[in-house]
Structure 1
Amino acid sequence: MQTLTTSADAAASSSRLTLSFASTPEEVREVQRLRYKVFIESMGLTALANAEGLDRDEYDTYCDHLIVRDAETLKVVGTYRVLSPQGARRAGRFYSEQEFDLGRLHHLRNRIAEAGRACIDPAYRSGAVIMMLWAGLAAFMQREKCEYLIGCASISLADGGHNAAALYRKVSESNLAPTEYRVRPHLPFPLDDRDATQAPTIPPLIKGYLRSGAWICGEPAWDPDFHSADLFMMLPLAKLDSRYARHYLKESQPA
């Protein structure tokens, strides 16, 4: 296991934060409880509610789970799950393939890591936690010798989808992947009847991807279960912005 530590302002305190990979079933359940709180309870997704209070699916078994803890309280305050090429082979496919046709990326499968279910406790969204999670992703990619990071990033449809349309229009002008890296959504989100002229609000996860140098690889998919439009993001490690590369790759060394 690789473990990282850093100092950060979390919940307006000088708490120490620690980063590790889950190593026990109970740690995975802690991750699933946080995801349930953020993805299901806070979004009011009653159709996905369950008595256990866990957000889980079959992919959790095949993934590594990054955990950020508040070392003073031992509370899990952030998580990301990562699927290696070997894990994807065992699962039968990448998680993203539920929403997108990745046919053009087939020749890269052995060099791709997939990240998903990024989740941070609302009281710890100062920026420190997501930076630690990104450092953990960099460590994972180095360990697995992966050259590409992929993942789905969600845009809420609470406003009827107008922000999703405006965001796609804006980012596709400057961050659209070359044709050979494009993917197709199985269930495209209907963009044409939305107002794409407004200034979009970019979710923090997508903003982090874009700042790091990631591409969006085509039009968004529609996820009715989570009431979101999902963008397929791809970050070639060689394209990682030099400022972020220095930070992430330095932070990703074992403590």
Structure 2
Amino acid sequence: MSVELIERDLLLENPAGMPLGLSASRDLLGRIGSLETRIARTEREIDAAQAVRYRVFVEEMKAQVCVEDARRGREVDSWDSLCDHLLVLDRSIDGDTEDQIVGTYRLLRHEVAIAHGGFYSGSEFGVNALVARHPEKRFMELGRSCVLPQYRTKRTVELLWQGCWAYALQHRIDAMFGCGSFPGTQPEEHALALSFLHHNAVAKGEWAVDALPHLYREMDLMPSEAVNARRALFSMPPLIKGYLRLGAMVGNGAVVDQAFNTTDVLIILPISSISGRYVNYYGADAGRFASAS
């Protein structure tokens, strides 16, 4: 199903005719209970999101940052100024909006990436070739996904996806991609999950993407007959597992990111590949917030 058809269906549920993914406050992308998701509005909010990233990536996952960023308690890079920053806020927390940020995602739109030399994940995977094979499509890169430990629930992951989906509809995105990370720098520790991905989810044909040759690490670590699908899915990070349920594919080969202490795979999700039941579920929700009063 094309973005245009999805949008047409949502507009039938949106008699107010407001832009998709926006509420009366113009930027609310989703709400579940006390949690809300929207794009950061100010530099202070982006700074607070970078502080959340520091707590997760540096303090918890032992990523490496420069001395100045460590002093400030922020995880920052040059791509931050090019991206929109999706936030998850817990409105039940007392304090300023910056104190309510419990999760974040970084979104880089096609035209912005092309104007500034490409996509972040192009440093690990051959995404430039992927984009070049689809000149008629608009891509969006997802990155720097993180959630504070006490909020790592199905509800929060669902809200992050809901925000990405509404944003994609708003900007008429045709396909999304980004790195999905396993903890640690030893791919062999994730042999079951990586082998399952290799045998069952590697993108083929026009969507095929390889890890860059000098970074390529084998994912085919176990024969297919030795892979227990249930155990493999159970061992995966929730975000990667969630993307698979939506209909995502993965690139060929993993990459070890020493600076972030992770083993990365490339997630590729054409909008047209998303399961119809998820389009209906998230599409309807995006339409609900588009017409909220």
**TM-score > 0.5, shorter chain as reference:** yes
Q: Structure 1: how far apart are the matches of 2:124 and 2:87? A: 26
Classify the secondary structure of the residue corresponding to 2:72.
Answer: coil
Classify the secondary structure of the residue corresponding to 1:36.
Answer: helix
Which protein has the larger Cα radius of gyration, Structure 1 or Structure 2? Answer: 2
1:4–1:251 Cα contact (<8 Å) kept: no
- In the alignment, what sits opposite 2:250? 216
Classify the secondary structure of the residue corresponding to 1:116.
Answer: strand
Amino acid at match of 2:237: P
1:188 aligns with 2:188: no
Amino acid at match of 2:77: D
Q: CA deviation at 1:190?
A: 4.9
| Structure 1 segments of 4+ aligned residues over 3 angstroms from their partners | 45-49, 194-200
1:212–1:244 Cα contact (<8 Å) kept: yes
- In the alignment, what sits opposite 1:23? 41
1:63 to 83, 92, 95: 83
Q: Structure 2: how far apart are the matches of 1:234 and 1:61? A: 24
Q: Structure 1: how far apart are the matches of 2:275 and 2:242? A: 11
Cα displacement string for residues 43-72 of structure 1 (whole angstroms, at most 9, x for unaligned residues): 233555611111111111111111111112
- In the alignment, what sits opposite 1:135? 162
1:153–1:233 Cα contact (<8 Å) kept: yes
Q: Structure 1: how far apart are the matches of 2:159 and 2:130? A: 31
Q: 1:235 to 1:191 in 2, by over 3 A?
A: closer
Q: CA deviation at 1:163?
A: 3.5
Which structure shows the bigger proportion of residues in strand conformation? 1
Cα displacement string for residues 128-167 of structure 1 (whole angstroms, at most 9, x for unaligned residues): 1111111111111112111101010011126x33233321
Correspondence list, 1:87-236, <5 A: 87-102=112-127, 103-108=129-134, 110-157=137-184, 160-186=186-212, 187-190=215-218, 199-200=231-232, 201-236=235-270
Q: CA deviation at 1:183?
A: 1.7
Q: Structure 1: how far apart are the matches of 2:269 and 2:219? A: 24
Q: Structure 1: how far apart are the matches of 2:149 and 2:86? A: 17
Q: CA deviation at 1:107?
A: 3.2
Q: 1:224 to 1:183 in 2, by over 3 A?
A: same
Amino acid at match of 1:207: K
Q: CA deviation at 1:95?
A: 0.8
Q: Structure 2: how far apart are the matches of 1:97 and 1:221? A: 12
Q: Structure 2: how far apart are the matches of 1:115 and 1:46? A: 21
Q: Specify every segment of 5 or more residues in structure 1 that has no aligned partner in the other structure, as ranges.
A: 9-15
Tell me the TM-score normalized by structure 2: 0.77
Q: With CA pairs under 8 Å and 6+ residues apart, which has the higher RCO, 1 or 2?
A: 2
1:50 aligns with 2:76: no
Q: 1:127 to 1:191 in 2, by over 3 A?
A: closer
Amino acid at match of 1:113: M
Q: CA deviation at 1:225?
A: 1.0
Equivalent residues, number: 246
Tell me the TM-score normalized by structure 1: 0.88
Classify the secondary structure of the residue corresponding to 2:198.
Answer: helix
Correspondence list, 1:26-45, <5 A: 26-45=44-63
Q: 1:189 to 1:76 in 2, by over 3 A?
A: same
- In the alignment, what sits opposite 2:92? 72
Q: CA deviation at 1:7?
A: 3.3
Q: Structure 2: how far apart are the matches of 1:216 and 1:21? A: 27
Amino acid at match of 1:31: A
Q: Structure 2: how far apart are the matches of 1:105 and 1:64? A: 20
RMSD of Structure 2 on Structure 1 (CA): 2.1
1:113–1:149 Cα contact (<8 Å) kept: yes
Q: CA deviation at 1:85?
A: 0.8
Amino acid at match of 2:44: E
2:29–2:166 Cα contact (<8 Å) kept: no
